[in-house]
Chain A
């Protein structure tokens, strides 16, 4: 089964629901899935961690800063491993071939570079977190990528 769908997700994002959709789609068109996890270059993800690291840096305790950053990276990698293991298991149960790649950098650049090396991909699916920024990024995306781009998002509920 050739991987025809690339599912792009933000590192650290809870993309469980988005992946459920991708799995259903892959089953219906008999496709494999490649999960592309994109982390921003700066691995710090919480304001508190950044502030803590800054405080230690001001105090000259660079060893603690490095420990904090390494710890944060370790936690992120651990969470990512668990997430990918869960996706792999769900794909295995559904008899869908799954591969994954982890990359750092700007999502648009990462997607473009990935597609250049993977000409057999039929469509790009953006997770809900990436789809949320689509107004800002859509023009850049369509200028750089020649595959159909699928945004997955939750419909907005009308307030009564």
Chain B
């Protein structure tokens, strides 16, 4: 009995020593298990999950290039992305970048310019890409540093059946005042149905996106062209008050913690009559099995002082400068952003799931038009009309519609969003939230006097 225990302990210690030695050896060897594969970091949105499923079967089979994916939620991807690219650690050859990161990363020399690759790759047909999307993925030098996977804008979705039952009509280009009036009238139209769902969840990619697009059309801006913070100016504060009041009066339960996903769920389950959000939402509302399929109407983003107010967002493929296999990486990018891939998704998963919003040809495709006809034209127009450089009524110091294209924005935007979200939750007044936000923005602005950003 005793000796048995002893022997077991001896064995354990021997095993531990061996493993530690092994650890040292394996560590020296490094992690590059198969150095031929392309490493891709991407957001776990449904379109990317489809891509992950199709890659081995179609891309690897055809080209022999293996692809390793790291798939994470958006925030985690951003943390990892910035860390890997800023240090040029080269863990990832390709990553999903948005049109927010692309110009910033390009300026710091962290990305490869893709113009030469695209030129050589005739089948890629870059001229087919929508001009506003191309512009938003270009650096200050006018060259493109990322190829779009899909693009989106924002628009207003509403329940046609509810509006009809109440005898209300939705204008094609509504103003925010009209929307507020309509929200009051449809609030409670059905059991458990509220007037409108707007994001209130803290986060620069959540609440701040729709709010900033409202600010733009109310004539406000985060910073003027001299880098002065303008968060307590009438444009910004009127927009914020309208937004907060609307959500507090006619928004859904838990508005301060509702983001895109929660609003989508509310809309799908008939808990809100309107929803102002990304055009990508329409694909889910019209998907097979959705209880509101065919009942939703789509109109342009509500405006006040500008002619259009939709935002512009694109997830795109960036190629890290430190990558050791740029040619293979380009092959992957070219395939993932191609017309051919859109066809493939259409065939395998249905045309509503195609990563659209980047190519003009998509909107001429009869199969796509048939499946996405309810919203495709409004969505295309919103993307084409978006102006990523000066989206408001004044000149802007940095690019971006629903964000300000500077490295400090995620931090600033998130802090400000926490203030506004607190106002939505009724924990402080909108004025107080804006006063605090202005202080935060002024600190950032001070760093920018004299820095060149455009």
- Tell me if chain B binds chain A: no
